[in-house]
Structure 1
Amino acid sequence: MVMNPMAVMRRENTRLQAENEQLRQELHNLREFVQILHELVQTSRAMTSDAELLPLLERVFTKALSLLNAPDGSLMLLDDEKNELVFMLVKGTLAANLLGYRIPASSGIAGWVVEHAEPALVRDVRRDPRFSQAIDEQFTFHTQSIAAAPLIGDGRVYGVIEALNQPGDEPFSEDDLALLGLLCRYAGETLADIERRQPETPRPG
């Protein structure tokens, strides 16, 4: 069989274009990641009141979902006194339902992440025994995949960020989880730094 040189060149050109687009996207994500880290440092140094804490977390949370291309997600903070996770920030389909909602601190993937102070990558939640279907069933939602990482500072777990369901039901990757984990680590250290300077920083109540 004689190969058509033009067809081979077109296929190779298409492949190279796809690789270049992927590299451009990765570079864009890296720049956004560096930008949000810079914002974390600058904002935490300039904070003068507890009222500025939630907007800071919202910037981190929004950027995390953007970097992972996740349409749905949540940021939960740990209420130590009640041993519950509180949905402080929610994006996507369930935003109106879950804001302020509470779950047991040991519940689901988020609870596992908080309890073990480790990130979790779940490509198919139906195959993971840690997954709790309670929220899906109550609010008629379909969770397919999860990337979650703890907000840790000074060895203390403040909460967790969960990103859900990349478009097309594509599972999250190890690179996605590493990016989320780094962002959460810096955010957690920022929370710890703020708490050191402002001992009365309120916890969810």
Structure 2
Amino acid sequence: MDGQWVGPILGLLAGILLGLGIMYAFLRGRIKRSKVLFDISMQLNSTLKRREQMELIMNTAKQVIPVEAASVLLLDPDTDELFFELAQGDKGDEVREIRLKSGEGIAGYVAQNGQSIIVNDTKTDPRWSNRVAQSTGFVTRNLLTVPILNGGLVEGVLQVVNKKGTRPFTKRDRHLLERVAQPMAVALENARLYAQVEHSLEALKTTTAIKERLESELQIAGTIQMSFLPRIMPSSQEPYDVCALLKSAKEVGGDFYNFFKIDDDHLFFALGDVSDKGIPAALFMAVTLTLLKGKMGPGLSPGELLTTVNEELARDNPLVFATIVCGVFTCSTGEVVMSEGGHCTPYVVRADGKIEPVKLKKSLPLAAMEEAVYHDGYLTLGHGDRLLLYTDGITEAENAVQEQYSPDRLQQFLEMTPGMSSAEIIDALLMHVFMFTDGAPQSDDIAVLTLLRR
């Protein structure tokens, strides 16, 4: 009885062992393929550069599907052509020079239809195109091509060529390559985002470099601009006290002032505002100051000076203009002859504290019209009387609710200034304006000039 069961039992055990062996081989293959996919996922995090990602993925995939060559072809959205992003094998460099039209060859067919294809005999498949083979001399026996899909859209194709050994490509190979293509789509998307970030960073670096260079040039331009203005105030031995200040809203601005002695008894002074801001305004300001100083001389009235300077400035039809007020102070008599071109109303602060607006005949700003004529006005400063010139950066300074400082506030301030020196008045006026604006950014240049007859 026992002997009767020995044969069947041994046969059963042999069958079980054979089944276990087959199952082990199957599981071992599954584990190996799973490990490949895991390795690919891990490698995606090792670099964000597209070419490096493709190389890593392909090298890992070829461990499971041993082939002679492999390539990644991507779709050019502008031309609808496939180009070789990656081509491994003996003819890789030559292959990368080739582009395939939409639907051309197996790769073009897969890109067009989004379906994987196994071709185990290229000679019998009508979809096969030998253009690559003719260009490179590479003989293709069989190939497996799968689409690289991203959100249902074909980004390109993954192709392996000439499986090593005698076995053909199988559905299992196709399934594995399709799974390899999935992280490739992720890699392409990540690489695209990385390229955008790199491009943005490069653009930012370029912009920053340009900004730094411009800031440096603006600082130099600001230094040059300030060099046109008088830096040394007159001594206390002079029969007058004159002081001026310019505070630009940007690195360089368009407001300007000047004062200089024509002779021992006459002092010329001017203050103006160019219509533009920045470098163009600074250049126009430099030209204007140069003409004012170059043309002014003994016996020339302020009105005659502005008429002459305007002819020079307006001749070439510049895109900017400048408001201005200027004058000549006679030290011995206190007489002041003044002329203006579209500028803010000056004020006289008498020694007794009385505030008087200086009403000059209005003319056009410099360079507004070539034929413009400028007129002279007259006033007299007694001992202790003061003349104040300013630009609209003072009266039009705004606070947070866009309320302007206004001429009325300026007059109220001037009522508090008797006994102050010219420098003290300018400092106090700027403080008064900045307290009014209460931290609101300065939107316009500010220039102030005061002249006191001692």
Does TM, scored on the shorter chain, surpass 0.5? Answer: yes
Q: Deviations over 1:149-181 (max 9, x none)?
A: 111112221111100111134211100100101
The residue number in structure 2 matching 1:129 is: 126
Whether 1:170 aligns to 2:167 is yes
1:78·1:105 contact (CA, 8 Å) conserved in 2? no
The residue number in structure 2 matching 1:29 is: 33
The DSSP-based 3-state class of the residue aligned with 1:113 is: helix
> How far off is 1:141 after superposition?
2.1
Whether 1:138 aligns to 2:135 is yes
Q: Which of 61, 65, 69 is the equivalent residue of 1:64?
A: 61
Could you state the TM-score of these two structures normalised by the residue count of structure 1? 0.76
The residue number in structure 2 matching 1:187 is: 184
Q: What does 1:139-154 align with in structure 2 at a 5 Å threshold?
A: 139-154=136-151
The residue number in structure 2 matching 1:95 is: 92
Letter in 1 for 2:123: R
> How far off is 1:137 after superposition?
2.5
> How far off is 1:143 after superposition?
1.0
Q: Which runs of 5+ in 1 are unaligned?
A: 1-11
The DSSP-based 3-state class of the residue aligned with 1:162 is: strand
2:32·2:64 contact (CA, 8 Å) conserved in 1? no
Q: Distance in 2 between matches of 1:162 and 1:79?
A: 17
1:65·1:71 contact (CA, 8 Å) conserved in 2? no
1:71·1:167 contact (CA, 8 Å) conserved in 2? yes
Rg comparison, structure with higher value: 2
2:105·2:129 contact (CA, 8 Å) conserved in 1? yes
Larger strand share, 1 or 2:
2
The residue number in structure 1 matching 2:43 is: 39
Q: Deviations over 1:21-69 (max 9, x none)?
A: 67545532321222212332x347xx4xxxx122112211222233211
The DSSP-based 3-state class of the residue aligned with 2:67 is: coil
RMSD across aligned positions (CA): 2.9
Letter in 2 for 1:150: P
Q: What does 1:46-85 align with in structure 2 at a 5 Å threshold?
A: 47=48, 52-85=49-82
The residue number in structure 2 matching 1:4 is: none
Comparing 193-202 with 171-180, which one deviates more in the overlay?
193-202
> How far off is 1:196 after superposition?
5.7
Q: Distance in 2 between matches of 1:19 and 1:142?
A: 37
> How far off is 1:130 after superposition?
1.0
2:122·2:142 contact (CA, 8 Å) conserved in 1? yes
Aligned residue pairs total 187
Q: Distance in 1 between matches of 2:139 and 2:127?
A: 16
> How far off is 1:193 after superposition?
5.0
> How far off is 1:201 after superposition?
8.8
The DSSP-based 3-state class of the residue aligned with 2:73 is: strand
2:95·2:136 contact (CA, 8 Å) conserved in 1? no
Higher relative contact order (CA 8 A, sep 6+): 1
Q: Distance in 2 between matches of 1:74 and 1:24?
A: 27
Q: Which of 154, 157, 174 is the equivalent residue of 1:160?
A: 157
Letter in 1 for 2:40: I
